[in-house]
């Protein structure tokens, strides 16, 4: 279980970094969100290159997702992993359900007006 950020770098490609909630408490409190969406994607589902439709948190409840990045790397996120997805510009990323089990996710769109948090240490 981990907490991550996906963002668009200066090169126009999506990248990821692990983030610690202990070091970023200034941005995890009181973020405006109006709803949550639950979705189940079946094993084998693949979504080609796409930027995120909005700034949002995506939390994996069960199953695993493999996210592909512009530099050719891939990362598998599993149950309990939470991602702050901010790659709303550029090439985006690919998404594939990893393994033979469906993947259940909860998506929390953040309300408009939230600027990207910038690089986290």
Q: What is the pLDDT of residues 39-63, one digit of tens each?
A: 999 999 999 999 999 999 999 999 9
Q: What are the residue boundaries of the structural domains of the chain, listed by start? A: 3-21+38-109
What's the predicted TM-score (pTM) here? 0.82
Structure tokens at 23: 């070091």
Closest CA to 69 of 96, 39, 106, 42: 96
Structure tokens at 45: 């589902």
Name the more confident of 33 and 78: 78
Residue 23 has pLDDT above 80, yes or no: no
Residue 8 has pLDDT above 60, yes or no: yes
**In terms of C-beta density within 10 A (0-12 exposed, 13-18 middle, 19 or more buried), how is residue 115 classed?**
exposed
CATH code given to domain 3-21+38-109? 2.60.120.10
């Amino acid at each position: 279980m981990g907490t991550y950020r996906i963002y668009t770098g200066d090169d126009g490609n999506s990248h990821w970094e692990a983030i610690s909630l202990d070091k970023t408490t200034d941005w995890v409190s009181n973020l405006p969100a109006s709803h949550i969406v639950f979705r189940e994607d079946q094993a084998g589902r693949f979504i080609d290159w796409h930027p995120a439709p909005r700034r949002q948190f995506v939390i994996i409840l069960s199953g695993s997702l493999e996210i592909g990045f512009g530099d050719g790397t891939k990362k598998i996120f599993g149950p309990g992993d939470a991602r702050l997805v901010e790659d709303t510009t550029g090439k985006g990323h690919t998404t594939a359900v990893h393994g033979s089990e469906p993947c259940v996710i909860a998506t929390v769109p953040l309300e408009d007006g939230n600027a990207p948090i910038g690089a986290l240490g």
